[in-house]
Structure 1
Amino acid sequence: MKTIDIRTVDVVQYIQPLREGGSMPAIVKADDDFLYVLKFRGSGQGKKSLIAEFIGGELARAIGLKVPELVFMNLEDSFRQTEPDEEIQDLLKFSVGLNLGLHFLSGAITFDPLASKADALTASKIVVLDSLISNIDRTAKNANLLYWHNEVWVIDNGASFYFHHNWDTWENHLSRTFPFIKDHVLLAQATALPEAAQEIKALLKEQTVSDIISKIPEDWLTNESDMLNVAEKRAAYRQFITTKLAMMDVLVKEAEDAR
């Protein structure tokens, strides 16, 4: 099995904020001369949104979906000192350290379900994956998908795994289905759900899931106010994903009924 290799780069230039989303990511340049969309650890949902973004993105890649390269991005404090906007100053101040970047797809457009089309298997894979990771933010109002070179690209998985916002009750989510799938932007195009589920089962082996979880930076998992330590959180993410994979047939039926 091929293990994932996540590069770490340094931010060398803050170019512009992207004010469409509530977390206000930014386009930045890194020391490898590429442009990235930087997701900040200092944003509203903090490091947990970066964890969800990372796990969701790498799971999507593992099942053959198009995902921009994800990198870990070091941000120094120097950028805050030259930023005139106070809101961005604060965001940069609280984001010093390791953040998450997505390779910037120049010329990509936001996926429009009325104008853009996803093939049945791709749409079905995205629907099944979002059900597995409890992604509540892939709706017609906010697709969180891009259309680039006539293909659908998966971005913005930060609203997934919402159980981790309250570790006291996270185990209650293990047996739950995902009724929010009824609002999924691609549900109407997802006409190959059983085939997608079969392919995902074949590709998402336990070792693949463990490998992805193991790459989460320890710093992102460290929070003194949480009842679980770093190792326990990694185990919780693994257990959540493997439990959802085991109940795939139930999740697929729920999605099919919603269609």
Structure 2
Amino acid sequence: MLNDVTATRFITPLREGGSLPGLVEADDLNPYVLKFTGAGQGRKTLVAEVVCGELARRLGFRMPRLVTVGLDPVLGLGEPDPQVQELLRSSGGTNLGMEFLSGALGFDPLAFTVTPEEAGRIVWFDALVNNVDRSWRNPNLLRLRGETWLIDHGATMIWHHNWPGAEASAARPYDAADHALASFAPDVHAAAAELAPRVTEDLLAEVTAEIPDVWLADEPGFGTSDDLRRAYARPLLARAAVVHERITGIEGEK
């Protein structure tokens, strides 16, 4: 399971992106980028962060460490921004923290390069989880000591916003024309050959087990949290074997 820490100090809001994350210090003395349950996207965004982030890590991608963060709303009393105060007040309990990578730079496709192999692996993974938020406008990639790190997977697995249509939604193609790495000749077929066999039922069960029960409670149409965990795994398992054939928008790909 994800390590559990408690926020001891709210440092500052991070005004990048629509979810308004914040930087906090925890009782393990480490800083974390905090994603709030009370943000507009709700707890499903945090579920997506965990499923996709932990799957990426197990497939060998560089991912900042994720933790669950207990938040006492009292930490927001001294925050002068009313919007941030309200966000803190509405997010008491279990939230998501992402390790803060000091010194990391946002990825700029005009300033950095990646190999076709690495680009292919990232594009393939984004196609697997249907990541619609890794464009050249907003890469959601970091560069640290010459290495590329993946962050921010809240806008993935859009099928979990409409479970009755999940199977049909998960079968749709992935348009990579605007992907941040589309210009680096991504070799998605080599990526599929390497990564697809590793996306197994057991691996996905391990990944979905990381989701805190509190974020899965009371989901309409599901009797237990484990039923919902299996529903998250099924589209990913089915998609892994064929998604490389459904990537469009990249020269040389179907």
Query: What interval of TM-score do these two structures reach, taking the shorter chain for normalisation?
Result: over 0.9
TM-score (ref. length: structure 1)? 0.91
Quote how far apart the aligned CAs of 1:140 are.
0.7
Q: Report which of the two has the higher share of helix.
A: 1
Q: 1:234 aligns with which of 214, 229, 236?
A: 229
Q: Give the corresponding residue for 1:78.
A: 74
TM-score (ref. length: structure 2)? 0.93
Deviation by residue 1:140-168 (Cα, 9 ceiling, x = unmatched): 11101011111110000100011111223
The answer to which of 20-29 and 243-252 deviates more is 243-252
Q: Give the corresponding residue for 1:185.
A: 180
Q: 1:116 aligns with which of 112, 117, 131?
A: 112
Name the SS of the counterpart of 1:136 in structure 2.
Answer: coil
Q: 1:218 aligns with which of 188, 213, 219?
A: 213
Question: Partners of 1:154 and 1:130 in 2: how far apart?
Answer: 10
Question: Partners of 1:252 and 1:206 in 2: how far apart?
Answer: 23
Distance verdict in 2 for CA 1:49–1:129, change over 3 Å = same
Distance verdict in 2 for CA 1:164–1:106, change over 3 Å = same
Distance verdict in 2 for CA 1:258–1:22, change over 3 Å = farther
Quote how far apart the aligned CAs of 1:175 are.
2.4
Q: Unmatched 5+ residue regions in structure 1?
A: none
Name the SS of the counterpart of 1:52 in structure 2.
Answer: helix
Quote how far apart the aligned CAs of 1:22 are.
0.8
Query: CA RMSD of the aligned region, Å?
Result: 1.8
Distance verdict in 2 for CA 1:190–1:52, change over 3 Å = farther
The answer to which of 185-194 and 47-56 deviates more is 185-194
Would the aligned equivalents of 1:174 and 1:244 in 2 still touch at CA under 8 Å? yes
1:47 correspondence with 2:79: no
Q: Give the corresponding residue for 1:130.
A: 126
Quote how far apart the aligned CAs of 1:254 are.
7.0
What code does the residue aligned with 2:176 have? I
Q: Give the corresponding residue for 1:106.
A: 102
Would the aligned equivalents of 1:214 and 1:234 in 2 still touch at CA under 8 Å? yes
Quote how far apart the aligned CAs of 1:80 are.
2.5
Quote how far apart the aligned CAs of 1:191 are.
3.2
Name the SS of the counterpart of 1:91 in structure 2.
Answer: helix
Quote how far apart the aligned CAs of 1:209 are.
1.1
Would the aligned equivalents of 2:10 and 2:76 in 1 still touch at CA under 8 Å? no
State, as a whole percentage, how many aligned pairs show the same letter. Answer: 40
Question: Partners of 1:174 and 1:107 in 2: how far apart?
Answer: 36
